Structure 1
Amino acid sequence: MKRTWFTHPEPLDTTTANELIQRYTSRQIQTKKTLAFDPKFWLVSALLPEYRHEPKPSKQYQNSIWSQ
């Protein structure tokens, strides 16, 4: 399975970046934290799997009446 680095688009403060990294590492996903242009913020990157097709949305809560 191909893996690519995903970088979160907005810079995060230190506590939010550490919490996000903790969530990724609990799922055994490799992460990087780099200092953003503004030294108060961090950029978080994660090595995520890349799939050939997008996942299909669940139709569990969709009703045919609403889509007409």
Structure 2
Amino acid sequence: MTNRLETPAPRRLACSGCGTEFTCTLSGPCWCSEETVRLPMPVDGGDCLCRDCLRKAAAQAAASPQS
């Protein structure tokens, strides 16, 4: 039986934008939840972005015309 009180360790990821390594905490507050921007999760098989790439993607999304 799994101990549900045990929290998993943060995942180590490499940014799909630049390759920078960072951690992701799925079981609790993550650094990305502190960001004001909200982008959809990648559908192209990519993973999360680091803080800098997330901010760049947000700026690009804000600058592009909405369809």
TM-score range (shorter-chain normalised) is under 0.3
Q: Which of these two proteins has the greater Rg computed from alpha carbons?
A: 1
Larger RCO, structures 1/2 (Cα 8 Å, 6+ apart): 1
TM-score of the aligned structures, taking structure 1 as reference length: 0.27
Structure with greater strand percent: 1
TM-score of the aligned structures, taking structure 2 as reference length: 0.27
Structure with greater helix percent: 2
